[in-house]
């Protein structure tokens, strides 16, 4: 585990988690060029990350996905349980739906690819620190590229449908959503069908990513 002592500043405090030292050093260099962001610690895998974050309590974590000992999704889940005040951005080379949805379910605030520009990385960190959910535009574009959408504005979602959609974004299935909202599972299924139709998508994952992208819902 590599450790950098905490500093006493008003900057956004970031911990970088990646199993490749060269990547960690590269991110550190990018962050050093910002006036309001600083790297206060780093970890080589998810297991180290849980310990470092619990000790330093940074504002934001930049988390790789594929790492030894503990992957980024599991580490994200554990950090959100132990250190809920810390926001997590996935920074990875993988841009498929499965990884994205797993990260959202685990509590990640954002999802970026490692080819992200310096300015976009800074903007993402600042947004996460404000509690905003985000997807890198290229990730959102790939996810939504195969979705056929009407030129007209989608029909508005009802309050109940927004409640269901938010629970979907938290990774809940129909039965769990029904229990949470005290409604029948078949009613949840009907709401999900309506949500998908209104958003002009074809799957639950696309519904969630569309809603997050368009600001219909936000992760707590």
Q: Are 94 and 73 in contact (CB under 8 A)?
A: no
Range of the domain at 205: 159-213
CATH of residue 163: 1.10.10.10
Domain edge (last residue) among 83, 114, 144: 144
Query: Six-digit token pair at 21?
Result: 């030292």
Would residue 151 count as lying in a domain? no
Q: Which residue has the tokens 């790492």?
A: 67
Of 24-28, 103-107, 147-151, the range with the highest mean pLDDT is 24-28
Domain edge (last residue) among 95, 114, 144: 144
**Whole-number average pLDDT of the chain:** 85
SS3 content of the chain, % helix, strand, coil (to 5): 50, 15, 40
Q: Looking at per-residue confidence, does 140 or 121 come out higher?
A: 121
Per residue in 8-38, pLDDT tens?
558 999 999 999 999 999 999 999 999 999 9
């Amino acid at each position: 585990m590599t450790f950098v002592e905490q500093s006493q500043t008003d900057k956004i405090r970031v911990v970088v988690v990646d199993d490749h030292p060269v990547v960690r050093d590269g991110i550190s260099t990018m962050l050093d060029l910002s006036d309001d962001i600083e790297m206060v610690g780093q970890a080589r895998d998810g297991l180290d990350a849980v310990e470092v974050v619990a000790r330093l309590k940074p504002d934001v974590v930049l988390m790789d996905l594929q790492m030894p000992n503990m992957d980024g999704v599991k580490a994200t889940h554990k950090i959100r349980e132990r250190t809920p005040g810390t926001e997590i951005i996935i920074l990875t080379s993988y841009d498929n739906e499965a990884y994205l949805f797993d990260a959202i379910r685990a509590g990640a605030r954002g999802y970026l690819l490692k080819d992200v520009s310096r300015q976009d990385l800074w903007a993402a960190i600042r947004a996460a620190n404000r509690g905003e959910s985000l997807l890198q535009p290229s990730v959102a574009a790939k996810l939504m590229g195969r979705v056929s959408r009407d030129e007209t504005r989608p029909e508005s979602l009802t309050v109940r449908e927004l409640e269901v959609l938010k629970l979907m974004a938290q990774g809940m299935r129909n039965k769990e959503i029904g229990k949470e909202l005290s409604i029948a599972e078949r009613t949840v299924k009907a709401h999900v069908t309506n949500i998908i139709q209104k958003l002009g998508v074809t799957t639950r994952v696309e519904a969630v990513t569309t809603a997050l992208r368009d600001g219909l819902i936000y992760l707590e």
